Amino acid sequence: MSANLRFIDVAFHYGSVPVLDQVSLDVPTGSFVALIGANGAGKTTLLNLACGTLRPSLGHVELDGANLATLPATQRARRVALVPQSLPIPFAFTVRELVSLGRTPYLHPLRGERPDDRLAIERALEITDTARFAHRNVLELSGGERQRVILALALAQEPDLLLLDEPTANLDIAHQLAILELIRELNRVAHLTVLAAIHDLNLAALFFERIVTLDRGRIIADGPPRAVLTPEIIGSVYGSAVQVIDHPSEPVPLIALLRPTEHGTRATAPGSDHNHDWPRHGGTST
Ligand code: ATP
């Protein structure tokens, strides 16, 4: 399984609003990469470009040397799966029915599920710990349960490249660790290439060997956690004061947040009317 993702001098605008600029990024097969950056930095947009649902305004995105824009949609869907921050679910699907949609790129229009489809669905349910509520209505699940079901849907696709947008956002700490451990294991064992947008810097440090940092649409740091998660870089990206210490039992940094009022940094919340120095493009996150 090979999935070498490359962004070559990519710019992206929503209409006239520039979001990404001069983004060049190599994610070789088997990489496990975190994407960090403040709200509105362009992480979701970058992930959508990586799966081909958006096309660059300038430059191009390649998968194994082929321009993603020229790959037929079915072929793209067999190779790349995106786990979005949330997925609008219009019908009262059962968990299994929703996860089985991950097999759509493999189904013949006149044939139903085949044994390999059923196997992929059962496996995705099993490893995301969602098999035990496979027959429940998705709309009745908690946010965290639903997030694991959306991951199962993506895994049922059996992709080579897995893109995750805040995979731990609705999860309790046990499930945050379990999901990242699971994805790490899929990366190690099945060489699944992973690019994940993540806000929790300590989880990023703990699980990812490489962290790419977006700031207002540009990559401003790219390297191992110790090189990227410094007080200087974090201060410049988030405008927040932090102290970086050693993790007590892992060879990674640990980021301690400091209260803004006591350290001369921004005291207003992102998006607040009083927050005139907030350095985003404006607008909301996805
Ligand atoms: P967050 O951490 O809040 O999820 P992000 O880094 O993922 O943010 P994006 O969702 O990529 O950021 O958004 C980048 C910028 O593009 C933001 O200013 C956002 O308002 C804008 N944007 C996103 N989607 C659209 C859209 N469909 N139309 C216009 N502007 C958009």
Residues 6+ apart with CB under 8 A from 268: 274, 275, 278
Residue linked to tokens 């996805």: 286
* Three-state DSSP class for residue 62: strand
Extract the residue ranges of the chain whose pLDDT is less than 70.
Answer: 109-110, 261-286
Please tell me the predicted confidence (pLDDT) of residue 105.
Answer: 84
Q: What are phi and psi of 168, to 5 degrees?
A: -110, 5
In tens, the pLDDT along 222-252 reads 999 999 999 999 999 999 999 999 999 999 9
**Ligand 1 atom closest to 42 (CA):** 11
- Regarding the beta carbon of 284 and ligand 1, being less than 6 Å apart is answered yes
Please tell me the predicted confidence (pLDDT) of residue 27.
Answer: 98
Please tell me the predicted confidence (pLDDT) of residue 262.
Answer: 61
Choosing from 39, 45, 83, 166 the residue with most ligand 1 atoms within 8 A of its CB, the one to mutate for a pocket test is 45
Domains parsed from the chain with CATH numbers = 5-257 (3.40.50.300)
* Three-state DSSP class for residue 164: strand
Run of H or E including 163: strand 161-165
- Regarding the beta carbon of 43 and ligand 1, being less than 6 Å apart is answered yes
Residue nearest to atom 17 of ligand 1 (CA): 40
For 83-136, give the DSSP string: E-S-----S--BHHHHHHGGGGGG--TT----HHHHHHHHHHHHHTT-GGGTTS
Alpha helices, DSSP H, located in the chain: 43-50, 73-79, 95-100, 115-127, 143-156, 173-190, 201-207, 225-228, 231-238
Amino acid at 19: V
